């Protein structure tokens, strides 16, 4: 298992912009996930470990894009019909076996290799709907452009061309591209193995009897789903009591068998918050105070060289800090090139005031504005612990650091929940 340097998460504690924090950490983190080689069928959603180079051109030969007739363009009449004898046939996987003389046509089906010729090659395909077959001849109408309906060799990929970069998260079209380029196996990163832990004597398993002062654990299923959507393999280590020595052992055991450890809550300095002391018994812990809302305090540390992420306890804050902060860092550790979640502009249907130098996200629902666009309406209750603000809205509006007030009718950037892995 690869490990990180002791100071990779070191931070002085000043309030940091989110983009500055990610830029700083991206310089320090290195991929820790090992490389394995797997068949294409097992590579969907995995991370490419090295650049992918096409072994062959795609398509490998000029071929017909339609059912029709291969002809020499410069032998067609510009003013009237041209009558050509049809001397043979070519289909996909079954090329015409001879050279095609000038003044002739060869019947070609979609995907058939273009015939080779004498003194140059046939360069145009007349679609069958635009021709008239007359016995052993075809009558071609004037006006077709040279090269029409012909797909050129290598117009999709050139042999030796780098078609996918290392760090690419492989989607279905990427696998098709790899197969077309001649690859049956790919070198990919093994998914990060992440230990997920909830802490707190007040936190209980859903379905159990809830004592006075207790709450059910909502963060663990939330974070487990988000980790899975980020391509991680999750080990659910359950709810652990807030006892320093016990937590220190749990963290040490988790670090031996995993590539990262993630908790939520319990990282403040209260009398019953023992996560910080437990981590420091095994390694080091640094607090990154981010200029964001909801969120702000995030704990990053090392347990025997294995990265530790301590997220806020409120579910909305835990979700946001994971999506916009922890996920990009986990992707770096897994060898991926982090990608910004998909977003698009919408019109605000509400006013909102915020502090300067802080990035904020507002939970909103979208409504059609009657002009072909979308209007965002803020959810009525916006506390960081209000889970219904996530289930009854469509996504988040992001308000940048330099914005002080958003007014109705102004444009804001909207992130749908599915782009965040929810």
Instruction: Kindly provide the b/e burial profile for residues 183-214, where b requires at least 16 CB atoms within 10 angstroms of the residue's own CB.
Output: beebbbbbbbbbbbbbbbebbbeeeeeeeeee
Are 281 and 230 found together in one domain? yes
**What gap in Å lies between CA 324 and CA 109, rounded to an integer?**
51
Q: How many domains does the chain have?
A: 4
**What gap in Å lies between CA 118 and CA 172, rounded to an integer?**
42
pLDDT digits (tens, 9 = 90+) for 165-192: 999 999 999 999 999 999 999 999 999 9
Are 254 and 319 found together in one domain? yes
Q: Is residue 4, in this structure, part of any structural domain at all?
A: no
Domain extent at residue 96: 65-151
Q: Assess whether pLDDT exceeds 90 at residue 11.
A: no
Pick from 119, 150, 130: nearest CA to 82: 130
The three-state secondary structure class of 105 is: strand
**What gap in Å lies between CA 343 and CA 413, rounded to an integer?**
6
pLDDT digits (tens, 9 = 90+) for 81-121: 999 999 999 999 999 999 999 999 999 999 999 999 988 99
Are 180 and 201 found together in one domain? no
**What gap in Å lies between CA 368 and CA 327, rounded to an integer?**
31
Longest dimension (CA), the chain: 95
DSSP secondary structure string, 16-58? B-HHHHHHHHHHH----SPEEEEEGGG-TT-EE-S-EE-SS-B
Are 132 and 166 found together in one domain? no
226's enclosing H/E stretch is helix 219-229
Please give the model's pTM, rounded to 2 decimal places: 0.85
Least confident piece of the model among 131-140, 184-193, 235-244, 278-287: 278-287
390's enclosing H/E stretch is helix 388-391
pLDDT at 135: 95
Are 373 and 320 found together in one domain? no
Q: Assess whether pLDDT exceeds 60 at residue 272.
A: no
Are 125 and 238 found together in one domain? no
**What gap in Å lies between CA 99 and CA 67, rounded to an integer?**
20
Q: Is residue 303, in this structure, part of any structural domain at all?
A: yes
pLDDT at 270: 55
CATH number, residue 52: 3.90.105
Q: Is residue 6, in this structure, part of any structural domain at all?
A: no
* Residue count (the chain): 422
Decide if 51 contacts 164 (C-beta within 8 A). Answer: yes
Are 27 and 144 found together in one domain? no
Calculate the CA 60 to chain-centre distance.
30
């Amino acid at each position: 298992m690869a490990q990180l340097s002791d100071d990779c998460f070191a931070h002085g504690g000043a309030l940091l912009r989110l983009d500055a924090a990610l830029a700083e950490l991206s310089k320090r983190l290195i991929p820790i996930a090992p490389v394995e080689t797997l068949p294409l069928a097992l590579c969907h959603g995995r991370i490419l470990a090295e650049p992918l180079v096409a072994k062959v051109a795609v398509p490998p030969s000029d071929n017909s894009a339609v059912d029709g007739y291969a002809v020499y363009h410069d032998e067609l009449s510009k003013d009237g019909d041209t009558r050509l004898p049809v001397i043979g046939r070519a289909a996909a996987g079954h090329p015409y076996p001879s050279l095609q003389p000038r003044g002739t046509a060869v019947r070609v089906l979609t995907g058939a290799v273009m015939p080779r010729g004498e003194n140059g090659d046939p360069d145009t395909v007349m679609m069958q709907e635009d021709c008239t077959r007359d016995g052993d001849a075809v009558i071609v109408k004037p006006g077709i452009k040279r090269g029409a309906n012909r797909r050129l060799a290598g117009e999709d990929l050139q042999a030796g061309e780098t078609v996918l970069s290392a760090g690419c998260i492989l989607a279905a079209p990427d696998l098709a591209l790899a197969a077309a380029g001649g690859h049956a196996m790919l070198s990919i990163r093994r998914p990060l193995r992440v230990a997920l832990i909830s802490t707190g004597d007040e936190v209980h398993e859903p379905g159990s009897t809830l004592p006075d002062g207790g709450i059910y654990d909502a963060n663990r299923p939330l974070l487990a789903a988000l980790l899975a959507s980020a391509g991680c393999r999750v080990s659910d280590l359950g709810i652990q009591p807030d006892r320093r020595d016990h937590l220190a052992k749990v963290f040490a055991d988790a670090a031996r068998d995993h590539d990262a450890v993630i908790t939520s809550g319990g990282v403040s300095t209260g009398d019953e918050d023992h996560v910080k002391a437990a981590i420091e018994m095994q390694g080091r812990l640094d607090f990154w105070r981010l200029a964001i809302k909801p969120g702000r305090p995030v704990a990053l540390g090392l347990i025997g060289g294995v990265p530790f992420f301590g997220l806020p306890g409120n579910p909305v804050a835990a979700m946001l800090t994971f999506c916009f902060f922890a996920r990009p860092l986990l992707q770096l550790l897994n060898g991926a090139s982090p990608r910004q979640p998909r977003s698009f502009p919408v019109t605000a249907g509400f006013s909102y005031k915020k502090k300067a130098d802080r990035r904020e996200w507002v939970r909103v629902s979208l409504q059609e504005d009657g002009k072909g666009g979308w209007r965002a309406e803020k959810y009525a209750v916006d506390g960081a612990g209000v889970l219904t603000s996530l289930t009854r809205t469509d996504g988040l509006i992001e308000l940048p650091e330099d914005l002080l007030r958003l007014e109705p009718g102004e444009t804001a950037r909207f992130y749908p929940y599915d782009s965040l892995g929810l």
